[in-house]
Amino acid sequence: MIKFCNLFSGSSGNCTFVSSKNTKILVDAGVSCLKISKALAELDVSLDEIDAILVTHEHIDHIKGITTIVNKYHVPVYASEKTWKMMDSLKVPDAYQLTFEPNNIFNIGEFNIYPFSIPHDAADPCGFSLSCENKKITIATDMGYIDNTILEQMEKSDILLLESNYDVETLKCSPYPFFLKQRISGKNGHLSNDVAGKAICHLCQRGVNNIILGHLSKENNFPELAYQTVLNELKQLDLSCNLSVANRDKIDDVLELA
Ligand SMILES: [Zn+2]
Ligand SMILES: [Zn+2]
């Protein structure tokens, strides 16, 4: 049985739990060790049991808890070489610094992991597909746009956590300075609800059924707005899927793939 649970999502911190019978993985650890430990306790999991943390990129909302987790619980951390260079200040002991090469498959316990490059303003940002027992889970947040390679990578996912960061109109009207608006909506920024919706239609037509909208902006989006925008896109094409929005500050329901 594969389990998936989004623990935290958004610019205040990201962390996702994925497990099989014998392997437990966190993707990102962008909130405090204490918060992650409490969230995992709700799933009856201790940080001691985590086999690895996969890091998508070096922004603080993805790495905040790492140093304490490593020091307290001795969990190995996987990141690309370029990302490790940017995380020098975390002072993770060498023994726990493991590397992967983007766009090359590797294994952690029972999972095959495929890190795929995504466009974002970080050194070497990646999404991840985690596969086990013929099931595939894909996590793709923090990207300015989706090209065909990324879209293909997300196909055939049994569960997809996809960024739906901002609403175009809300961002336009927000008090953010112009340069920041440009950054967010630029090709190395974040995905809008509209773009996420279009991608989801494509994926839904190819059988992706469980989709969670994640990494919503607190200032430039609303959960209901993201949900409705994507739902409207789906309705226009007479499509439907199991769509939900990731909670920011508390854990979501666990999804199980038998
Ligand atoms: Zn982020
Ligand atoms: Zn980021």
| Shortest-distance ligand to the CA of residue 118 | 2
The pLDDT tens digits for 162-183 are 999 999 999 999 999 999 999 9
| Shortest-distance ligand to the CA of residue 184 | 2
pTM of the model: 0.97
The pLDDT tens digits for 121-164 are 999 999 999 999 999 999 999 999 999 999 999 999 999 999 99
The pLDDT tens digits for 185-231 are 999 999 999 999 999 999 999 999 999 999 999 999 999 999 999 99
- Does residue 240 have a pLDDT over 80? yes
The pLDDT tens digits for 95-121 are 999 999 999 999 999 999 999 999 999
Instruction: Quickly list H helices, 23-110.
Output: 33-41, 60-63, 66-73, 81-86
What's the gap between Cα 84 and its chain centre?
18
The pLDDT tens digits for 19-41 are 999 999 999 999 999 999 999 99
| Residue of higher predicted confidence among 15 and 252 | 15
Ligand 2: centre distance to CA 173 (Å): 22
For residue 139, list its beta bridge partners: 128, 161
Q: What pLDDT does 1 receive? A: 93
Ligand 1: centre distance to CA 95 (Å): 26
Ligand 2: centre distance to CA 11 (Å): 8
| Shortest-distance ligand to the CA of residue 14 | 1
| Shortest-distance ligand to the CA of residue 144 | 2
| Shortest-distance ligand to the CA of residue 13 | 1
Number of H helices, E strands in the chain: 9, 14
| Shortest-distance ligand to the CA of residue 28 | 1
Ligand 1: centre distance to CA 64 (Å): 11
| Shortest-distance ligand to the CA of residue 86 | 2
Q: What pLDDT does 50 receive? A: 98
145 to 97, 151, 194, 253: CA distances (angstroms):
29, 10, 11, 28
Ligand 2: centre distance to CA 172 (Å): 20
Distance, CA of 111 to CA of 108 (rounded, Å) = 5
Ligand 2: centre distance to CA 59 (Å): 5
| Shortest-distance ligand to the CA of residue 126 | 2
Ligand 1: centre distance to CA 138 (Å): 16
Ligand 1: centre distance to CA 197 (Å): 19
The pLDDT tens digits for 50-59 are 999 999 999 9
Q: What pLDDT does 182 receive? A: 95
Ligand 1: centre distance to CA 232 (Å): 26
Give the confidence band of 248 by pLDDT, cuts at 50, 70, 90: confident
Q: For residues 176 and 227, is the Cβ–Cβ distance under 8 A?
A: no
Ligand 2: centre distance to CA 142 (Å): 5
For residue 108, list its beta bridge partners: 111
| Residue 92 in tokens | 């993770």
Ligand 2: centre distance to CA 141 (Å): 8
Ligand 1: centre distance to CA 61 (Å): 5
Give the confidence band of 249 by pLDDT, cuts at 50, 70, 90: confident
CATH fold for the domain made of 2-257: Metallo-beta-lactamase; Chain A (3.60.15)
- Does residue 251 have a pLDDT over 90? no
